[in-house]
A = this chain, B = another copy of it.
Amino acid sequence: MSANPQLTDDGRLRHLLTLEGLPARILTQILDTAASFLTVSEAERDVKKVPLLRGKAIFNIFFENSTRTRTTFEIAAKRLSADVVNLNINASSQSKGETLLDTVANLSAMQADMFIVRHAAAGASHLIARHVAPHIHVINAGDGRCAHPTQGLLDMFTLRHYKGAFHNLRVAIVGDVLHSRVARSQIHALTTLGCPEVRVVAPKTLLPRDVENLGVHVFHKMSEGIRDVDAVLMLRLQNERMRGSRLPSAGEYYKHWGLTPDKLKLAKPDAIVMHPGPMNRGVEIDSAVADGMQSVILSQVTFGIAVRMAVMSLLAGSGATGAQS
């Protein structure tokens, strides 16, 4: 099977598992659909409620706990008028010795229309997508280390919302690129959408070896990496990394890699600052920046609802005609 398992035979979105390999056409369709869910209100940020998924059953299947992510999907589904069922699968069937695929087969048989899957193991949502009934759609809400494609999409939405287009953007991704699948999703999406200059800014110990092959420019100094960029995409420093040997103390990290007002002055005056949350204030980002005029961090959250609504409605619209991978 060589075709993209995320697409139907006629090229529509069937599952959303990763941004890797998704064509610009699909990414743009998602962003355009998300924009249609935002009302043109004073703040241009209200999300409308629509009946598009009335009668559909959406299962939030969380094999690891993540209140924040589960909530964004739950809110998005309810704004589409779907029925939402939350499943926290740790103590129950799994502990009864049932396999992942049996659990999924059972949930499929409960007349689910969509699975939102969060799992600690990389590839779990891919495995599930390969085995669900033809009418069921799967969205990866993070597999492995805090990775989920809807995060990458909402970042693209935010960039486009504030900067209008990608073809003239200079973007810096700053921080722990090595352990961040958010960064990987961002790089794929930016490249696909035609962003001409994507930079990664990180210490050598927090960069993957092959990073240049992804088509990015590598910087090992903040002062050079964020100079004259249109947007600074900060990454979260995982707490567990800070205890590891790859890093000095949180204070040392902040000194060299934390985004302070002074460092931000090196970017363009109208540069925006983004962060996927939750933030470590005083570690990767200074509170004056996080709460400052250039921060669009809370808009990312709002746009995330609209983007997730867009993904769900497009998946539901692709119907049961899709090829089963």
Contact = CB atoms under 8 A, between A and B. Distances in A.
A106 B88 CA distance: 22
Interface residues of A, number: 50
A97 interface: yes
A96 interface: yes
A136 to B, nearest CB: 13
A110 B302 contact: yes
Nearest to A77: B83
A148 to B, nearest CB: 15
Nearest to A75: B110
Given A85-B74, A87-B71, A277 B106 contact: yes
Interface stretch (A62-70, A165-173, A219-227, A259-267): A62-70
Q: How many copies does the complex hold?
A: 3
A213 interface: no
Contacts of A107: 71
Nearest to A76: B110
Nearest to A98: B278
Given A301-B109, A302-B110, A305-B110, A278 B75 contact: no
A87 B65 CA distance: 12
A281 B49 contact: no
A72 interface: yes
Nearest to A68: B93
Given A46-B111, A88-B67, A98 B57 contact: no
A280 interface: yes
A78 interface: yes
A102 B93 CA distance: 31
A72 B278 CA distance: 30
A201 B203 CA distance: 67
21 contacts: A47-B111, A57-B78, A65-B91, A66-B92, A68-B106, A71-B85, A71-B107, A75-B85, A78-B83, A78-B85, A79-B83, A96-B239, A96-B278, A98-B277, A98-B278, A103-B278, A108-B298, A109-B298, A110-B302, A110-B304, A111-B305
Nearest 9 CB-CB pairings of A with B: A109-B301, A67-B92, A98-B278, A109-B298, A78-B83, A49-B55, A109-B302, A47-B111, A96-B278
